[in-house]
Structure 1
Amino acid sequence: MNENRQNEINLHSAGATVRHRSDFDHLKSHKNDFELSKEFIDQWVLPFYMEMRHTSGSWIEDMKQLKDEITEEVTLALLGDFNWRTRTVGAYLSAIKNYENQIDIIGVHLLKSEVCYAGDLYALVFAFYNNQKTIDYLNQYLDYYLQKPQLYFDQERVMETLVYLDGINGTNNYSKHLTQWEKMLQDRHEISKIRNLQTAEIIKQQEGKVKAEEFLKATNNFKFKYNLDTEWITEQIHLLKELREF
Protein backbone atom coordinates (compact mmCIF):
# COMPACT_ATOMS: atom_id res chain seq x y z
CA MET A 1 0.00 0.00 0.00
CA ASN A 2 1.45 3.38 -0.98
CA GLU A 3 1.94 6.19 1.54
CA ASN A 4 -0.82 8.45 0.16
CA ARG A 5 -3.36 5.65 0.38
CA GLN A 6 -2.35 4.88 3.97
CA ASN A 7 -2.63 8.56 4.90
CA GLU A 8 -6.17 8.66 3.48
CA ILE A 9 -7.13 5.61 5.54
CA ASN A 10 -5.64 7.15 8.68
CA LEU A 11 -7.51 10.42 8.15
CA HIS A 12 -10.79 8.59 7.56
CA SER A 13 -10.31 6.56 10.74
CA ALA A 14 -9.59 9.74 12.69
CA GLY A 15 -12.89 11.21 11.51
CA ALA A 16 -11.63 13.52 8.77
CA THR A 17 -14.13 12.10 6.30
CA VAL A 18 -14.93 15.52 4.78
CA ARG A 19 -12.05 17.91 4.17
CA HIS A 20 -13.25 21.42 3.52
CA ARG A 21 -12.03 24.99 3.52
CA SER A 22 -13.85 27.45 5.75
CA ASP A 23 -13.72 30.96 7.16
CA PHE A 24 -12.12 29.44 10.25
CA ASP A 25 -9.00 28.04 8.58
CA HIS A 26 -6.91 30.84 10.09
CA LEU A 27 -7.72 29.71 13.63
CA LYS A 28 -4.98 27.65 15.24
CA SER A 29 -6.10 24.26 16.51
CA HIS A 30 -4.59 22.81 19.65
CA LYS A 31 -2.52 19.84 18.45
CA ASN A 32 -0.07 17.55 20.19
CA ASP A 33 3.52 17.20 19.05
CA PHE A 34 3.60 13.63 20.36
CA GLU A 35 1.72 10.36 19.91
CA LEU A 36 -0.54 9.08 22.66
CA SER A 37 0.61 5.81 24.18
CA LYS A 38 -1.45 2.64 23.97
CA GLU A 39 -1.67 2.61 27.77
CA PHE A 40 -3.08 6.15 27.78
CA ILE A 41 -5.67 5.32 25.11
CA ASP A 42 -6.64 2.11 26.90
CA GLN A 43 -7.26 4.04 30.11
CA TRP A 44 -8.95 7.21 28.87
CA VAL A 45 -10.42 6.59 25.43
CA LEU A 46 -11.50 3.02 24.73
CA PRO A 47 -13.80 2.62 27.78
CA PHE A 48 -15.69 5.86 27.12
CA TYR A 49 -15.76 7.18 23.57
CA MET A 50 -18.64 4.96 22.44
CA GLU A 51 -20.54 5.22 25.73
CA MET A 52 -20.66 8.93 26.54
CA ARG A 53 -23.71 9.59 24.41
CA HIS A 54 -25.69 7.20 26.63
CA THR A 55 -26.99 8.21 30.05
CA SER A 56 -26.78 4.79 31.66
CA GLY A 57 -24.31 1.94 31.86
CA SER A 58 -21.31 0.76 33.84
CA TRP A 59 -19.12 3.41 32.20
CA ILE A 60 -20.58 6.04 34.53
CA GLU A 61 -19.24 4.34 37.65
CA ASP A 62 -15.92 3.76 35.88
CA MET A 63 -15.76 7.48 35.12
CA LYS A 64 -16.48 8.37 38.74
CA GLN A 65 -13.68 6.13 39.94
CA LEU A 66 -11.23 7.81 37.56
CA LYS A 67 -12.37 11.37 38.25
CA ASP A 68 -9.58 12.19 40.71
CA GLU A 69 -7.02 11.15 38.09
CA ILE A 70 -8.35 13.58 35.49
CA THR A 71 -5.92 16.48 35.13
CA GLU A 72 -5.47 19.33 32.70
CA GLU A 73 -2.54 17.43 31.25
CA VAL A 74 -4.84 14.50 30.48
CA THR A 75 -7.58 16.61 28.88
CA LEU A 76 -5.11 18.69 26.86
CA ALA A 77 -3.49 15.53 25.51
CA LEU A 78 -6.89 14.18 24.50
CA LEU A 79 -8.02 17.44 22.91
CA GLY A 80 -4.73 17.76 21.05
CA ASP A 81 -4.95 14.40 19.32
CA PHE A 82 -6.29 14.50 15.75
CA ASN A 83 -9.08 11.97 16.24
CA TRP A 84 -12.78 12.29 17.02
CA ARG A 85 -12.58 9.64 19.74
CA THR A 86 -9.91 11.37 21.78
CA ARG A 87 -11.23 14.88 21.22
CA THR A 88 -14.76 14.04 22.37
CA VAL A 89 -13.52 12.31 25.50
CA GLY A 90 -11.21 15.25 26.17
CA ALA A 91 -14.04 17.78 25.88
CA TYR A 92 -16.28 15.69 28.13
CA LEU A 93 -13.64 15.26 30.84
CA SER A 94 -12.79 18.95 30.61
CA ALA A 95 -16.40 19.80 31.46
CA ILE A 96 -16.49 17.35 34.36
CA LYS A 97 -13.44 19.05 35.87
CA ASN A 98 -14.63 22.56 35.00
CA TYR A 99 -11.53 23.49 33.00
CA GLU A 100 -13.01 26.68 31.59
CA ASN A 101 -9.59 27.74 30.33
CA GLN A 102 -10.01 25.02 27.66
CA ILE A 103 -13.22 26.48 26.24
CA ASP A 104 -11.37 28.22 23.40
CA ILE A 105 -9.66 24.96 22.42
CA ILE A 106 -13.02 23.22 22.18
CA GLY A 107 -14.55 26.24 20.45
CA VAL A 108 -11.94 26.23 17.71
CA HIS A 109 -12.43 22.49 17.24
CA LEU A 110 -16.17 23.11 16.84
CA LEU A 111 -15.77 25.96 14.37
CA LYS A 112 -13.16 24.23 12.22
CA SER A 113 -14.98 20.86 12.32
CA GLU A 114 -11.85 18.99 11.31
CA VAL A 115 -13.23 15.61 12.39
CA CYS A 116 -16.75 14.19 12.36
CA TYR A 117 -18.71 12.62 15.26
CA ALA A 118 -17.51 15.36 17.61
CA GLY A 119 -19.61 18.50 17.21
CA ASP A 120 -22.57 17.19 19.19
CA LEU A 121 -20.34 16.58 22.23
CA TYR A 122 -18.72 20.01 21.91
CA ALA A 123 -22.20 21.57 21.82
CA LEU A 124 -23.23 19.56 24.88
CA VAL A 125 -20.18 20.76 26.79
CA PHE A 126 -20.93 24.36 25.83
CA ALA A 127 -24.53 24.00 26.98
CA PHE A 128 -23.23 22.63 30.27
CA TYR A 129 -20.95 25.64 30.78
CA ASN A 130 -23.75 27.96 29.63
CA ASN A 131 -21.82 31.21 29.63
CA GLN A 132 -21.53 34.03 27.13
CA LYS A 133 -18.37 32.68 25.53
CA THR A 134 -19.79 29.23 24.86
CA ILE A 135 -23.07 30.67 23.55
CA ASP A 136 -21.09 32.95 21.23
CA TYR A 137 -19.28 29.92 19.81
CA LEU A 138 -22.60 28.17 19.16
CA ASN A 139 -24.03 31.23 17.41
CA GLN A 140 -20.87 31.67 15.36
CA TYR A 141 -21.02 28.04 14.27
CA LEU A 142 -24.60 28.41 13.07
CA ASP A 143 -23.97 31.75 11.37
CA TYR A 144 -21.54 29.94 9.10
CA TYR A 145 -22.62 26.32 8.77
CA LEU A 146 -26.32 26.96 8.23
CA GLN A 147 -25.17 28.52 4.97
CA LYS A 148 -23.47 25.26 4.00
CA PRO A 149 -26.29 22.77 3.33
CA GLN A 150 -23.89 20.49 1.47
CA LEU A 151 -21.95 19.96 4.70
CA TYR A 152 -23.91 17.52 6.83
CA PHE A 153 -22.18 18.40 10.08
CA ASP A 154 -23.77 19.22 13.45
CA GLN A 155 -26.14 22.03 12.53
CA GLU A 156 -29.15 20.17 13.95
CA ARG A 157 -27.55 19.39 17.30
CA VAL A 158 -26.26 22.94 17.73
CA MET A 159 -29.72 24.30 16.95
CA GLU A 160 -31.18 21.97 19.59
CA THR A 161 -28.55 23.21 22.01
CA LEU A 162 -29.65 26.80 21.51
CA VAL A 163 -33.30 25.82 21.94
CA TYR A 164 -32.35 24.18 25.25
CA LEU A 165 -30.33 27.19 26.41
CA ASP A 166 -33.05 29.64 25.41
CA GLY A 167 -35.47 27.64 27.54
CA ILE A 168 -33.39 27.89 30.70
CA ASN A 169 -31.93 31.36 30.11
CA GLY A 170 -35.04 33.11 28.83
CA THR A 171 -33.12 34.19 25.72
CA ASN A 172 -34.01 34.10 22.04
CA ASN A 173 -30.88 32.97 20.19
CA TYR A 174 -32.70 30.21 18.32
CA SER A 175 -34.99 32.61 16.48
CA LYS A 176 -31.98 34.50 15.09
CA HIS A 177 -31.14 31.42 13.04
CA LEU A 178 -34.63 30.18 12.23
CA THR A 179 -34.88 31.67 8.72
CA GLN A 180 -31.48 30.34 7.69
CA TRP A 181 -32.25 26.98 9.33
CA GLU A 182 -35.40 26.57 7.26
CA LYS A 183 -33.54 27.66 4.13
CA MET A 184 -30.82 25.09 4.79
CA LEU A 185 -33.41 22.33 5.11
CA GLN A 186 -35.00 23.40 1.83
CA ASP A 187 -31.61 23.58 0.12
CA ARG A 188 -30.79 20.10 1.36
CA HIS A 189 -34.07 18.89 -0.08
CA GLU A 190 -33.08 20.33 -3.46
CA ILE A 191 -29.64 18.74 -3.20
CA SER A 192 -31.29 15.41 -2.44
CA LYS A 193 -33.51 15.70 -5.52
CA ILE A 194 -30.47 16.27 -7.74
CA ARG A 195 -28.69 13.29 -6.19
CA ASN A 196 -31.80 11.16 -6.62
CA LEU A 197 -31.94 12.02 -10.32
CA GLN A 198 -28.29 11.07 -10.68
CA THR A 199 -28.91 7.79 -8.86
CA ALA A 200 -31.98 7.08 -10.99
CA GLU A 201 -29.90 7.48 -14.14
CA ILE A 202 -27.45 4.87 -12.86
CA ILE A 203 -30.33 2.53 -11.99
CA LYS A 204 -31.79 3.06 -15.47
CA GLN A 205 -28.51 2.06 -17.09
CA GLN A 206 -28.06 -0.99 -14.87
CA GLU A 207 -31.61 -2.21 -14.18
CA GLY A 208 -33.85 -0.46 -16.69
CA LYS A 209 -36.28 2.44 -16.91
CA VAL A 210 -39.02 0.84 -14.79
CA LYS A 211 -36.74 0.37 -11.78
CA ALA A 212 -35.46 3.92 -12.13
CA GLU A 213 -39.00 5.31 -12.17
CA GLU A 214 -39.91 3.23 -9.11
CA PHE A 215 -36.91 4.63 -7.27
CA LEU A 216 -37.82 8.23 -8.13
CA LYS A 217 -41.44 7.71 -7.13
CA ALA A 218 -40.40 6.35 -3.74
CA THR A 219 -37.95 9.18 -3.05
CA ASN A 220 -40.28 11.91 -4.30
CA ASN A 221 -43.00 10.73 -1.92
CA PHE A 222 -40.66 11.07 1.05
CA LYS A 223 -41.50 14.14 3.13
CA PHE A 224 -38.56 15.44 5.10
CA LYS A 225 -39.36 16.89 8.48
CA TYR A 226 -37.02 17.66 11.33
CA ASN A 227 -38.32 18.40 14.79
CA LEU A 228 -35.77 19.94 17.12
CA ASP A 229 -35.76 17.89 20.32
CA THR A 230 -34.01 18.81 23.58
CA GLU A 231 -34.65 15.56 25.44
CA TRP A 232 -31.19 14.11 24.75
CA ILE A 233 -29.29 17.21 25.79
CA THR A 234 -31.43 17.66 28.92
CA GLU A 235 -30.64 14.13 30.09
CA GLN A 236 -26.97 14.59 29.27
CA ILE A 237 -26.76 17.81 31.27
CA HIS A 238 -28.21 16.05 34.31
CA LEU A 239 -25.57 13.33 33.99
CA LEU A 240 -22.72 15.82 33.62
CA LYS A 241 -23.89 17.61 36.76
CA GLU A 242 -23.90 14.29 38.60
CA LEU A 243 -20.37 13.52 37.45
CA ARG A 244 -19.04 16.98 38.32
CA GLU A 245 -20.57 16.89 41.80
CA PHE A 246 -19.40 13.35 42.58
Structure 2
Amino acid sequence: MPFQNPEETGYGYAIERYVTRKDSDHPRYLELNSARVLRPGWPHAKRFARHLIEDAATIANAELEALLAYEWRSRLTAAWLIGVGRRASFRERLGDLLLASEVCYSGSAYCFALARLGTHADAEILTAYLDHYLPRTDLRYDQPAALGALLRLDAHLGTYHADRFTQPGGLWDQWVQALVHLRDHPAYTPEEQRRWTDLHCDFANGWIHL
Protein backbone atom coordinates (compact mmCIF):
# COMPACT_ATOMS: atom_id res chain seq x y z
CA MET A 1 0.00 0.00 0.00
CA PRO A 2 1.55 3.35 -0.95
CA PHE A 3 2.20 5.91 1.76
CA GLN A 4 0.60 9.31 1.33
CA ASN A 5 1.49 12.40 3.33
CA PRO A 6 -1.72 14.06 4.60
CA GLU A 7 -0.24 17.38 3.49
CA GLU A 8 -0.77 16.20 -0.07
CA THR A 9 -4.48 15.53 0.42
CA GLY A 10 -5.42 18.58 2.47
CA TYR A 11 -5.33 16.82 5.84
CA GLY A 12 -1.94 17.99 7.08
CA TYR A 13 -3.60 19.65 10.08
CA ALA A 14 -4.71 16.21 11.32
CA ILE A 15 -1.16 15.31 12.33
CA GLU A 16 -0.90 18.13 14.86
CA ARG A 17 -4.53 17.87 15.96
CA TYR A 18 -4.60 14.14 16.61
CA VAL A 19 -1.11 12.61 16.50
CA THR A 20 1.46 15.00 17.95
CA ARG A 21 -0.81 17.02 20.27
CA LYS A 22 0.36 17.12 23.86
CA ASP A 23 -1.95 16.35 26.76
CA SER A 24 1.05 15.29 28.83
CA ASP A 25 4.81 15.63 28.72
CA HIS A 26 5.00 13.76 25.43
CA PRO A 27 3.12 13.68 22.10
CA ARG A 28 -0.04 11.58 22.05
CA TYR A 29 1.35 8.87 19.77
CA LEU A 30 4.27 8.34 22.15
CA GLU A 31 2.02 7.98 25.18
CA LEU A 32 -0.20 5.53 23.32
CA ASN A 33 2.81 3.46 22.36
CA SER A 34 4.04 3.28 25.95
CA ALA A 35 2.63 1.79 29.12
CA ARG A 36 2.33 5.14 30.87
CA VAL A 37 -1.40 5.34 30.19
CA LEU A 38 -1.83 2.21 32.32
CA ARG A 39 0.33 3.36 35.21
CA PRO A 40 -1.67 3.95 38.43
CA GLY A 41 -1.45 7.54 39.52
CA TRP A 42 -0.26 8.87 36.17
CA PRO A 43 -0.93 12.61 36.63
CA HIS A 44 -2.10 13.26 33.06
CA ALA A 45 -4.57 10.35 32.89
CA LYS A 46 -7.86 12.24 33.10
CA ARG A 47 -6.99 15.01 30.67
CA PHE A 48 -5.34 12.61 28.25
CA ALA A 49 -8.29 10.22 28.32
CA ARG A 50 -10.92 12.95 28.07
CA HIS A 51 -9.34 14.47 24.99
CA LEU A 52 -8.82 11.07 23.39
CA ILE A 53 -12.49 10.21 23.92
CA GLU A 54 -13.56 13.55 22.44
CA ASP A 55 -11.35 13.09 19.39
CA ALA A 56 -12.49 9.49 18.90
CA ALA A 57 -16.09 10.72 18.81
CA THR A 58 -15.57 13.71 16.52
CA ILE A 59 -12.77 12.81 14.10
CA ALA A 60 -14.12 12.47 10.56
CA ASN A 61 -13.76 9.21 8.66
CA ALA A 62 -11.81 11.04 5.97
CA GLU A 63 -9.33 12.24 8.61
CA LEU A 64 -8.90 8.70 9.89
CA GLU A 65 -8.31 7.47 6.34
CA ALA A 66 -5.67 10.16 5.85
CA LEU A 67 -3.86 9.09 9.01
CA LEU A 68 -4.04 5.38 8.12
CA ALA A 69 -2.45 6.12 4.77
CA TYR A 70 0.67 7.64 6.35
CA GLU A 71 3.52 6.46 8.59
CA TRP A 72 3.49 4.51 11.87
CA ARG A 73 2.77 7.36 14.27
CA SER A 74 -0.32 8.38 12.36
CA ARG A 75 -1.49 4.80 11.87
CA LEU A 76 -1.01 3.94 15.53
CA THR A 77 -2.99 6.99 16.66
CA ALA A 78 -5.75 6.42 14.12
CA ALA A 79 -6.12 2.80 15.24
CA TRP A 80 -6.47 3.90 18.85
CA LEU A 81 -9.11 6.45 17.90
CA ILE A 82 -10.94 3.77 15.93
CA GLY A 83 -10.77 1.38 18.87
CA VAL A 84 -11.85 3.88 21.49
CA GLY A 85 -14.68 5.11 19.27
CA ARG A 86 -15.52 1.60 18.08
CA ARG A 87 -15.64 2.68 14.42
CA ALA A 88 -16.65 -0.68 13.00
CA SER A 89 -16.60 0.64 9.43
CA PHE A 90 -12.78 0.50 9.60
CA ARG A 91 -12.62 -3.20 10.47
CA GLU A 92 -11.61 -4.37 6.99
CA ARG A 93 -9.08 -1.55 6.60
CA LEU A 94 -7.43 -2.46 9.90
CA GLY A 95 -7.36 -6.11 8.89
CA ASP A 96 -5.62 -5.26 5.62
CA LEU A 97 -3.04 -3.10 7.40
CA LEU A 98 -2.40 -5.72 10.06
CA LEU A 99 -1.81 -8.47 7.53
CA ALA A 100 0.42 -6.22 5.40
CA SER A 101 2.59 -5.32 8.42
CA GLU A 102 4.26 -2.48 6.56
CA VAL A 103 5.48 -0.40 9.50
CA CYS A 104 6.60 -0.90 13.09
CA TYR A 105 4.59 -0.33 16.28
CA SER A 106 1.20 0.29 14.69
CA GLY A 107 0.23 -3.40 14.53
CA SER A 108 -0.40 -3.65 18.25
CA ALA A 109 -2.80 -0.71 17.94
CA TYR A 110 -4.71 -2.50 15.17
CA CYS A 111 -5.03 -5.50 17.51
CA PHE A 112 -6.30 -3.27 20.32
CA ALA A 113 -8.91 -1.77 18.00
CA LEU A 114 -10.08 -5.19 16.81
CA ALA A 115 -10.36 -6.39 20.40
CA ARG A 116 -12.45 -3.32 21.20
CA LEU A 117 -14.75 -3.89 18.22
CA GLY A 118 -15.35 -7.29 19.73
CA THR A 119 -17.12 -9.38 17.09
CA HIS A 120 -16.67 -12.71 15.33
CA ALA A 121 -15.44 -10.83 12.27
CA ASP A 122 -12.61 -9.31 14.34
CA ALA A 123 -11.68 -12.75 15.68
CA GLU A 124 -11.49 -14.06 12.12
CA ILE A 125 -9.10 -11.26 11.14
CA LEU A 126 -6.82 -12.00 14.08
CA THR A 127 -6.97 -15.73 13.36
CA ALA A 128 -5.96 -15.14 9.74
CA TYR A 129 -3.05 -12.99 10.88
CA LEU A 130 -1.80 -15.66 13.28
CA ASP A 131 -2.22 -18.37 10.64
CA HIS A 132 0.02 -16.32 8.38
CA TYR A 133 2.66 -15.04 10.80
CA LEU A 134 3.07 -17.60 13.59
CA PRO A 135 4.67 -20.12 11.18
CA ARG A 136 7.20 -17.38 10.34
CA THR A 137 9.55 -18.20 13.20
CA ASP A 138 12.12 -15.79 11.75
CA LEU A 139 9.88 -12.76 12.29
CA ARG A 140 8.86 -10.89 15.41
CA TYR A 141 5.98 -8.71 14.33
CA ASP A 142 2.69 -8.38 16.22
CA GLN A 143 2.06 -12.03 16.98
CA PRO A 144 1.85 -11.41 20.76
CA ALA A 145 -0.66 -8.57 20.48
CA ALA A 146 -2.76 -10.55 18.01
CA LEU A 147 -2.85 -13.59 20.28
CA GLY A 148 -3.79 -11.49 23.30
CA ALA A 149 -6.60 -9.82 21.39
CA LEU A 150 -7.87 -13.16 20.08
CA LEU A 151 -7.85 -14.69 23.55
CA ARG A 152 -9.89 -11.77 24.86
CA LEU A 153 -12.38 -12.13 22.02
CA ASP A 154 -12.67 -15.87 22.60
CA ALA A 155 -13.53 -15.23 26.23
CA HIS A 156 -16.06 -12.57 25.24
CA LEU A 157 -17.65 -14.50 22.39
CA GLY A 158 -17.50 -18.00 23.85
CA THR A 159 -15.33 -19.22 20.98
CA TYR A 160 -12.09 -21.21 20.81
CA HIS A 161 -10.16 -19.72 17.89
CA ALA A 162 -6.93 -19.44 19.87
CA ASP A 163 -6.90 -23.02 21.16
CA ARG A 164 -5.09 -24.51 18.20
CA PHE A 165 -2.36 -21.86 18.49
CA THR A 166 -1.83 -22.22 22.25
CA GLN A 167 -1.98 -26.00 22.65
CA PRO A 168 1.31 -27.48 23.97
CA GLY A 169 3.78 -27.71 21.12
CA GLY A 170 1.50 -25.67 18.89
CA LEU A 171 2.33 -22.70 16.71
CA TRP A 172 2.70 -20.28 19.62
CA ASP A 173 5.20 -22.52 21.44
CA GLN A 174 7.09 -23.13 18.21
CA TRP A 175 7.29 -19.41 17.49
CA VAL A 176 8.50 -18.51 20.99
CA GLN A 177 11.05 -21.31 21.07
CA ALA A 178 12.46 -20.30 17.68
CA LEU A 179 13.23 -16.78 18.93
CA VAL A 180 16.02 -17.37 21.43
CA HIS A 181 15.55 -14.10 23.33
CA LEU A 182 11.88 -14.98 24.00
CA ARG A 183 12.41 -18.48 25.38
CA ASP A 184 11.31 -18.78 29.00
CA HIS A 185 10.50 -15.05 29.06
CA PRO A 186 7.54 -14.56 31.43
CA ALA A 187 6.03 -11.88 29.19
CA TYR A 188 5.55 -14.28 26.28
CA THR A 189 2.96 -16.67 27.64
CA PRO A 190 -0.59 -16.66 26.25
CA GLU A 191 -1.87 -15.68 29.69
CA GLU A 192 0.37 -12.63 29.80
CA GLN A 193 -0.65 -11.53 26.31
CA ARG A 194 -4.32 -11.83 27.29
CA ARG A 195 -3.65 -9.86 30.49
CA TRP A 196 -1.94 -7.09 28.53
CA THR A 197 -4.86 -6.79 26.11
CA ASP A 198 -7.30 -6.76 29.02
CA LEU A 199 -5.38 -3.94 30.69
CA HIS A 200 -5.67 -1.75 27.60
CA CYS A 201 -9.27 -2.57 26.83
CA ASP A 202 -10.48 -2.35 30.42
CA PHE A 203 -8.70 0.96 30.85
CA ALA A 204 -10.37 2.22 27.68
CA ASN A 205 -13.73 1.00 28.95
CA GLY A 206 -13.18 2.95 32.15
CA TRP A 207 -12.64 6.19 30.26
CA ILE A 208 -16.34 6.51 29.52
CA HIS A 209 -16.87 7.38 33.18
CA LEU A 210 -14.57 10.40 33.09
Counterpart of 1:39?
13
Structure 2 counterpart of 1:111, one-letter code: L
Instruction: Summarize deviations over 1:148-175 as a string: whole Å, max 9, x none.
Output: 1111111112112222222222221111
- Contact (CA 8 Å) 2:67, 2:78: kept in 1 or not? yes
CA shift, 1:224, in A, is: 2.7
CA shift, 1:107, in A, is: 0.5
Q: Relative contact order, CA 8 A, sep 6+: which one is greater?
A: 1
TM-score when scaled to structure 2?
Answer: 0.77
**2:49 alignment partner, one of 47, 60, 71:** 60
Q: Percent identity?
A: 23
Instruction: Summarize deviations over 1:168-222 as a string: whole Å, max 9, x none.
Output: 2222111111211111122223xx6xxxxxxxxxxxxxxxxxxxxxxxxxxxxx9
Q: 1 CA distance for matches of 2:151 and 2:121?
A: 17
Counterpart of 2:88?
100
Structure 2 counterpart of 1:60, one-letter code: A
Counterpart of 1:236?
200
Gaps in structure 1 of 5+ consecutive residues:
1-28, 193-221
Evaluate the alpha carbon distance shift between residue 59 and residue 78 of structure 1 in structure 2; reply closer, same or farther with a 3 A threshold. same
CA shift, 1:245, in A, is: 7.8
Q: 2 CA distance for matches of 1:67 and 1:151?
A: 32
The alignment covers a number of residue pairs equal to 186
1:75 aligns with 2:64: yes
Counterpart of 2:184?
224
Evaluate the alpha carbon distance shift between residue 30 and residue 135 of structure 1 in structure 2; reply closer, same or farther with a 3 A threshold. farther
Q: 1 CA distance for matches of 2:65 and 2:208?
A: 18
Gaps in structure 2 of 5+ consecutive residues:
22-27
In our comparison, the structure showing a higher alpha carbon Rg is 1
